[in-house]
A and B are shown apart, each in its own frame.
Chain A
Amino acid sequence: MKRFFARNAPAYVFLLPWLIGFFLLALGPILASLYLSFTRYDMVSAPRWIGWGNYEYMFTRDRRFWKALEVTFTYVALAVPARLIMALGVAMLLDKGLRTIGLYRAIFYLPSLLGASIAIAILWRQLFAADGVVNQVLAMVGIQGASWITDPDTSLYTLVVLAMWQFGSPMLIFLAGLRGIPRDLYEAAEIDGTPGWRQFTRITLPLLAPVIFFNLVLQTIDSFKTFSSAFIISNGTGAPADSLLFYTVYLFNEAFKFFRMGYASALAWFLLVIIATFTAIAFFTSKYWVHYENERD
């Protein structure tokens, strides 16, 4: 017993801050929000147990909940592939045959660092305004642009473009992955006269699969959590016509504008379930399409 203590004590001392944080800031709140999700709670009076009431309302009667799901899933389905394709394309251009890529790499990465800021969200509102930069450019080629931000049919695309603009970090991860592919594979293919696109589907894609998988999981989780830019561009409400009602924006408003804390907790838990499901699907299916290099078929 004494020896057990002596062996473990130092490690747990180092782990202590994280352990406290884990119980008080992660595990505790997650369980608390599970409990709250079965209550009605306005922060004035104590939470009142209402069983499945919140979930029942959410799934059967709350139109805005379904709208928020639709907006968020549409966004994820558009933004993640757009960003990843952009990232992979540029990474492949940078990977082969160029001697100096440092400056390009820096330029392409910068938007990823700035993109989450309020300043850029403010800028985006102006770029896509009716008299904004985008429409100016379109006017030069004779196209009458929409009022992108205020038109419910187009507002979501402005955020997809913002997501695409931030392709820098998956690009860096792809670049690191491409570096790991042995050059002689391409040389051998070149000698055999294998055309470029075939080299891409037969060498690059299979060997990059683990990296693609990693980026896909990361970006999907990340996109579900999009908040600041949607909040700023939609004036904090999900406007116009709820077309920017991201799940997180809806949750925020239910909790901190209308103080429906119980219902917002149910929303939060469902978000956790969605993200956990996506992560789980990715991991369980990965063995069918991801082959790691040190693995034998």
Chain B
Amino acid sequence: MKTSATDLELAIQMDEAARVAHELRLKRDRQNRNGRILKHIFLIIVSCVMLYPLFWLLASSFKPENEIFGSLTLWPSEFRFENYTKGWYALPISFTVFYVNSAIVTGLSVIGNLVSCSFAAYAFARLSFTGRSFFFALMMMTLMIPYHVVLIPQYVQFLNLGWVDTYLPLVVPRFLASDAFFIFLMVQFFRQLPRELDEAAMIDGCSPFKIYWAIILPLSLPAMGTAAIFSLIWVWEDFLAPLIYLNDIKSYTVPLALRLFLDQEGQSAYGQMFAMSVLSLVPVVIFFVLFQKLIVRGIATSGMK
């Protein structure tokens, strides 16, 4: 009797415990769901605040001049497409030239970065040679050096070579792996590839170049893609180097051209200035949307800006 009473008690207790646990779980789920909804609301508000300036810029680029200031609305009362058509020709030289210039500089720079940085990264990550860790440390140290420190001697150097007002000072350094960030990014990636591949290829008599070209590169397309996209965006937006090296308006890149609008501020062509600003961001946004995954992964693994 006694045992069955305790059994019964135990059963009741267990039942009670199960009920409490169930209720707790329900409560937690409820809390979680409420928490999730709150989080979403908060994140949506933050998203709107973050995006508002961009949408305001876009809207203003279509607005009539008198509607740009003193207005928060994201919908122009009438669409002024001529902000774009007039803005394109608002400077002494048309934006066609600036875009061609920017495309030349960016295209060559991206190629330079990919070739020279992947060469260096391959040596650092896959080949053993005397002085490897020493040079690797040097390379990592160059990441820290501000561009401003090397700027003046570089300028003097390029001036003496007669390279000022050409694209050479912007492009040639990229063929000499001056953006060491990409070496670092690629080294990280190359190191993860299985060593056995190189060894097997070596036994088969492949040269180091063959291994680089036929094994490492094809397997590293994600890393190369990340490097290509980042160098494309950074070179496209680059301002300081073009500002120093390009004096002739015919050789200006897009960011330099945008700055000219500011000098003419008195003439109040805000709509046109905004229109051209929007256009300058379009390639970046397109590349971001298309290659978002590569970009996100690239930052997470290498910690780039």
Contacts and interface: CB of A to CB of B under 8 A. Distances in A.
Interaction A to B = yes
Given A12-B129, A17-B176, A18-B116, A97 B35 contact: yes
Contacts of A251: 148
B138 A22 contact: yes
B150 A169 contact: no
Contact of A271 (B56, B123, B146, B176): B146
A294 interface: no
Nearest to B154: A29
Nearest to B115: A17
A127 B237 CA distance: 21
Interface in B17-58: 32, 35-36, 39-40, 42-43, 46-47, 50-51, 53-54, 56-57
B39 A169 contact: no
B54 A114 contact: yes
A227 B147 CA distance: 11
Contacts of A10: 127, 207-209
A33 B32 contact: no
Interface string A192-224: 000000000000000000000011001001101
A175 interface: yes
A112 B233 CA distance: 11
A154 interface: no
A110 B282 CA distance: 12
Contacts of B56: 123, 127, 133
Interface stretch (B76-84, B86-94, B191-199, B257-265): B257-265
Interface string A91-109: 0011001100000111111
A254 B32 CA distance: 58
Interface stretch (A61-69, A74-82, A145-153, A261-269): A261-269
B139 to A, nearest CB: 7
Interface string B277-305: 11011001100100010011001110111
A17 B121 CA distance: 11
A14 interface: yes
Given A271-B148, A279-B144, A137 B130 contact: no
A169 to B, nearest CB: 5
B292 A136 contact: no
Contacts of A175: 300
B153 interface: yes
B101 to A, nearest CB: 15
B150 A119 contact: no
Contacts of A112: 305
Q: Which of A113, A124, A235, A265 has the most CB of B within 10 A?
A: A113
Q: DSSP class of B's interface residues: helix, strand, loop or mixed?
A: helix
Contacts of B270: 126
A172 interface: yes
Contact of B152 (A20, A22, A33, A109): A33
Contacts of B85: none
B4 interface: no
Nearest to A110: B288
B122 interface: yes
Contact size range, B: 35 or more
Contact of A107 (B50, B68, B124): B50
A14 B43 CA distance: 47
Contacts of A291: none
A256 B152 CA distance: 9
Contact of A36 (B152, B240, B280): B152
Contacts, number: 252
Given A22-B142, A275-B144, A118 B153 contact: no
Contact of A90 (B46, B117, B142): B46
A134 B200 CA distance: 63
Interface of B: 32, 35-36, 39-40, 42-43, 46-47, 50-51, 53-54, 56-57, 60, 68-72, 115-117, 119-120, 122-124, 127-130, 132, 135, 138-139, 142, 144-157, 159, 173, 175-178, 180, 183, 207-209, 212, 233-234, 237, 239-240, 244, 255, 258-259, 261-262, 270, 273-274, 277-278, 280-281, 284-285, 288, 292, 295-296, 299-301, 303-305
Interface of A: 4, 7-8, 10-12, 14-22, 24-26, 28-30, 32-33, 36, 43, 90, 93-94, 97-98, 104-114, 116-120, 122-127, 129, 131-133, 136-137, 165, 169, 172-173, 175-176, 214-215, 218, 221-222, 224-225, 227-228, 231-232, 235, 248, 251-252, 255-256, 261, 264-265, 268-269, 271-272, 275-276, 279
18 contacts: A14-B122, A15-B129, A26-B178, A98-B40, A111-B54, A114-B281, A116-B234, A118-B237, A118-B239, A122-B274, A127-B56, A129-B69, A214-B303, A222-B305, A228-B255, A251-B148, A268-B146, A269-B149
Given A7-B129, A11-B123, A173-B299, 14 more contacts: A14-B123, A18-B119, A29-B154, A30-B149, A90-B43, A106-B288, A108-B46, A110-B285, A116-B237, A122-B258, A136-B71, A227-B240, A268-B152, A279-B144
